[in-house]
């Protein structure tokens, strides 16, 4: 463990040193006689997850399309920065790209919490329509003024999968959650969701979840199959309820100052590669979820319960439209009205 911390601290010091050089006018993005730009991409999940696969594809494609004028360094699994410090790292230009879950933007761009709303979609195939760039939700994501004012530019949205409930007790109805502690990402909407179901929401960094479950600090949580499997949560939990009650979307953001310094032709390549990475991600996301679910079933350590429609509706009626209306002033009336329309 100490070796991992030491490696992460060393990498972070190198990244901060590079950012300081930029601030001083000695850009580490240039090498030799030709301009070369270094893009550090940090994320918190394993390389086998949909995010990990998409990040690797993005690196390969962007370097190929720019003939290595942009060199991409990918740091997965909280190797460089984690949940607690990655947003600050992006704003300080210590890294140039992240793909955090939408819940991470609670304090910097509250409107992005629309992606955290319970029962936003029923399946991943619905996502492109709901978040289309000209929809009200799409505008809140891709034209977000709060993010721009903090030096961030949204360049993509990656699917990670639908959320399932994992716990040590069978969760068939909301009352099964009463008195239990569930790990959440730091989102007010997710807090309201679990409170409406009777559970106790407990914010916790992704890298700490396995230990929290193992030690009994928390009783369960919500996540998609690839994250449950890659972090071995199914080995310390007895039950998974396939509720498909929420969407995990990763907002691909780039440091705006870094992007603005690129020559025009490279900006176009970055944007095109980000758009293509979305399509690639959607392909691998469903495959990864199916494969992870199969691996969990094969392991036999956690029972997967698929609720009936009536059972699922018991959860839904406690949060729709209640949570949507509770955060109308945060998300914006147009966004909320559009999403509730979609529910009809």
pLDDT one-digit tens code per residue, 87-143: 999 999 999 999 999 988 988 999 999 999 999 999 999 999 999 999 999 999 999
The DSSP code sequence of 82-137 is -TTTHHHHHHTTSSSEE--BGGGGTTT-GGGGGGGSTTS-SSGGGHHHHT-TTSHH
* CA–CA separation, 344 and 332 (whole Å): 19
Confidence of residue 75 (pLDDT cuts 50, 70, 90): very high
Mean pLDDT, residues 315-327 taken together: 98
* Sign, Cα dihedral of 9, 204, 45, 231: positive
pLDDT tens readout for residues 6-28: 445 545 554 555 544 444 333 44
The first and second tokens of residue 99, run together, are: 């793909």
Total-model pTM: 0.85
Phi-psi category of residue 174: left, alpha or beta, with phi > 0 → left and psi -120 to 50 → alpha: alpha
What pLDDT is stored for residue 106 in this prediction?
Answer: 86
User: For the chain, what is the largest distance between any 2 Cα atoms, rounded to a whole number of angstroms?
Assistant: 66
């Amino acid at each position: 463990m100490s070796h991992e911390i030491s490696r992460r601290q060393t990498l972070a010091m190198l990244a901060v040193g590079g950012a300081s050089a930029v601030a001083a006018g000695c850009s580490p993005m240039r090498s030799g006689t030709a301009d070369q730009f270094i893009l550090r991409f940090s994320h918190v999940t394993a390389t086998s997850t949909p995010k990990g696969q998409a990040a690797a594809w993005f690196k390969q494609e962007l370097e190929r399309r720019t003939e290595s004028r942009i060199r991409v360094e990918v740091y997965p699994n909280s190797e460089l920065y984690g949940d607690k410090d990655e947003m600050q790292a992006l704003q300080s230009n210590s890294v140039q790209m992240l793909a955090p879950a939408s819940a991470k933007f609670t304090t910097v761009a509250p409107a992005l919490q629309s992606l955290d709303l319970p029962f936003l979609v029923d399946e991943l195939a619905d996502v492109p329509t709901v978040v289309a760039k000209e929809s009200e939700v799409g505008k809140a994501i891709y034209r977000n003024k709060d993010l721009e004012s903090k030096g961030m530019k949204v360049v993509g949205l990656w699917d990670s999968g639908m959320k399932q409930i994992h716990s040590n007790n069978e969760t068939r109805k909301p009352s099964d959650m009463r008195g239990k502690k569930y790990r959440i990402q730091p989102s007010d909407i997710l807090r309201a969701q679990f409170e409406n179901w009777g559970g106790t929401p407990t914010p916790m960094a992704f890298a700490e979840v396995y230990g929290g479950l193992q030690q009994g600090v928390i009783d369960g949580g919500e996540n998609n199959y690839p994250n449950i499997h890659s972090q071995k949560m199914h080995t310390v939990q007895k039950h998974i309820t396939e509720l498909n009650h929420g969407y995990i979307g990763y907002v691909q953001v780039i440091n705006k100052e870094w992007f603005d310094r690129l020559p025009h032709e490279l900006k176009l390549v970055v944007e095109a590669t980000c758009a293509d990475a979305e399509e690639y991600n959607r392909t691998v996301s469903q495959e990864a979820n199916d494969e992870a679910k199969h691996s969990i079933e094969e392991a036999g350590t956690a029972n997967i319960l698929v609720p009936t429609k009536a059972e699922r509706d018991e959860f839904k009626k406690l949060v729709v439209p209640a949570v949507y209306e509770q955060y109308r002033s945060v998300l914006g009336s147009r966004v909320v009205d559009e999403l509730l329309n979609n529910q009809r």
